Structure 1
Amino acid sequence: MLTAAPNGVAIAYRDSAPRTGHHPVPVMLVHGMGGDGRTWDRFARSLLAAGRRVVAVDLRGHGRSARAASYRFDEFGADVLGLCEHLGLETVDLVGHSLGGHTGSLVAQQRPGLVRRLVLEEAPLPLRPGDPPQVLGGRLPSPAELWHASTSLLRNPRATFAFDRSMTGSALTQFRAPNPRWWEHLPRITAPTMILRGGPGSMVDPARLEAAVDVLGDVAVHDFTCGHSIHRDRHREFEAAVLPFLT
């Protein structure tokens, strides 16, 4: 486990290289809120077997990375960009789950030449001006959300306890507010993009997904039936879709 502090916050990451073969473009894996880079362990092994270098990040306030005074979405994006610069990466394939997917979209908007392929797994799409308010809190969790939370605790308790829960309110506030800038910058994404939805209980709004697909030039959408954590709960189906896309 290594650390870098591109924006004054220590960011932990694991950088793994394959034993044989070497694809020139590394794959950067970015987890969702409340997790850490180890959620990708199984997928990382498959990538290494396919000859890919893998960089798995712990976002600020998660895993072994430092806690921070603020948790704005653009700061998560800046941390990932700073880590790429720290490692001297000129091109990456970026795979992000949930908050990590939203982070990846910000990276691809800000530095389109950096991201060769972009995978957004269950990444909530921001509200547009005029959209009805987003209901992300103040209600009972759905069975799918309860399942995801309880099984995450059982599978990776260290990530659950390391997570800085003070960011929850900030994240909810940001997701509840329209973000016209994200939509204005969406055409900047030039990388072929794959969007993965978890079916019933998905956090990807269908209407906003349709609007995003209309803007993105090269995009494929895959639907699953497992809920929010596709790479974990349907790992074989996830790999069957994502590995060929990355190679």
Structure 2
Amino acid sequence: MTATATFAGVEIHYRDSGGADPVPVLLVHGMGGDGRTWDRFARALTTRGRRVVVVDLRGHGRSAHASSYLFGEFGDDILALCDHLGLDRVDLVGHSLGGHAVSLVAQSRPELVRRLVLEEAPIPLRAGEQMGTLVRRLPTPVELWHAVTSMVRSPRAALAFDRSMTGPALDQFHTPHPDWWAALPSITASTLLISGGPRGMVDPARLDAALAAIPDSRTVTIEVGHSVHRDRPRDFETTVARFLGG
């Protein structure tokens, strides 16, 4: 089933495989993509009997463009979708920006989230950390490479993407977020953080700090870069399906 719902004045598109699974899996894509990036993984999960919900974030895919793209608003949209679907327990899987958004959901409503997967979600700076002025003005080489390859592989998503969010999103990623760090211990979900290795966007020191702060967390590295589920789908499917099914 494909459908749309309006939250805070923004129309959000989603797909719901349906079924009797008591704990659905909600998949959230990264910046510049859309829900179709999850097609292969969604099929793998439904084959295992899981109910799968795939969302297009605001400003992406078939969802509407918005006047604001604060990270908290992406998280609020996901929470509103869960409420709209009547979900009281869910597994969340998010890539990049989507990973950050689902981490906010797990922080704000811990009882909702059973298992949490953060694939190459850029971990915010801690208080006192700074990035160089050049990095703050321009995307990093890794970010540029991912954007280019995503455009080549998913031109429809690239055309639908609201590019006005790019600057504000990068500014948010490059600004310390002490509230996010302070809320990590409130996450009660079993949490898996997936790193793409040296070519990815996850800072190893901040990854270690996040693991220490989230009570039930573990990490796995699949050295392929920022889009693990896209570029190493079998390894991603095996790792994440086992984690979600445990």
Normalising by structure 2, what TM-score? 0.94
Please give the residue correspondences for 1:117-156 in structure 2 after superposition, counting only pairs within 5 Å.
117-133=115-131, 136-138=135-137, 141-142=140-141, 145-156=143-154
Matched, 1:184 2:185: no
Deviation at 1:141, TM superposition (A): 4.9
Stretches of structure 2 lacking an aligned partner (at least 5 in a row): none
Deviation at 1:203, TM superposition (A): 1.0
Deviation at 1:24, TM superposition (A): 1.5
8 A Cα contact 2:130 2:176, kept in partner: no
Please give the residue correspondences for 1:34-45 in structure 2 after superposition, counting only pairs within 5 Å.
34-45=32-43
- In structure 1, how many angstroms separate the alpha carbons of the residues matched to 2:24 and 2:88? 10
Please give the residue correspondences for 1:1-247 in structure 2 after superposition, counting only pairs within 5 Å.
1-17=2-18, 22-133=20-131, 136-138=135-137, 141-142=140-141, 145-247=143-245
8 A Cα contact 1:35 1:163, kept in partner: yes
**Could you tell which deviates more after superposition, 170-179 or 79-88?**
170-179
More helix by share: 2
8 A Cα contact 2:194 2:220, kept in partner: yes
8 A Cα contact 1:29 1:56, kept in partner: yes
**Could you tell which deviates more after superposition, 35-44 or 124-133?**
124-133
Deviation at 1:150, TM superposition (A): 3.1
- Percent of residue pairs identical: 63
Aligned pairs, how many?
Answer: 243
1:53 maps to a residue whose letter is R
8 A Cα contact 1:34 1:62, kept in partner: yes
Secondary structure in 2 aligned to 1:129?
A: coil
Deviation at 1:132, TM superposition (A): 3.0
RMSD over aligned CA atoms reads 1.5
- In structure 2, how many angstroms separate the alpha carbons of the residues matched to 1:232 and 1:137? 27
- In structure 1, how many angstroms separate the alpha carbons of the residues matched to 2:79 and 2:139? 36
Deviation at 1:202, TM superposition (A): 1.6
8 A Cα contact 1:7 1:82, kept in partner: no
Deviation at 1:110, TM superposition (A): 0.3
**Could you tell which deviates more after superposition, 215-224 or 77-86?**
215-224
Deviation at 1:131, TM superposition (A): 1.4
Normalising by structure 1, what TM-score? 0.94
